[in-house]
Amino acid sequence: MAFFPIKGFLGTGATFEADLNLVVQVVMGVALIAGSLLAKRKRYAAHGVCQTTVLLSNLGMIGLVMWPSFQQQVRPALPEGLHKWYFAAATIHALLGVMAELLGLYIVIVAGTHVLPQFLRFKNWKRWMRAELVLWSIVVLTGMGTYYAWYIAPFG
By CB under 6 A, is residue 90 in contact with ligand HEM?
Answer: yes
Of 31, 43, 64, 67, the one binding ligand HEM by CB under 6 A: 67
By CB under 6 A, is residue 51 in contact with ligand HEM?
Answer: no
Considering the complex, state which of residue 6 and residue 45 has its C-beta at the smaller distance from ligand HEM. Answer: 6
Long-range contacts of 148-155 (CB under 8 A, 24+ apart): 148/89, 149/85, 149/86, 149/89, 149/90, 150/14, 150/18, 150/86, 150/89, 150/90, 151/12, 151/13, 151/14, 151/18, 152/12, 153/85, 154/86, 155/13
By CB under 6 A, is residue 144 in contact with ligand HEM?
Answer: yes
Considering the complex, state which of residue 47 and residue 151 has its C-beta at the smaller distance from ligand HEM. Answer: 151
- Give the interface with ligand HEM as residue ranges (CB under 6 A): 17-18, 21-22, 25, 58, 62, 65-67, 69-70, 74, 90, 93-94, 97-98, 100-101, 136, 139-140, 143-144, 146-147, 150
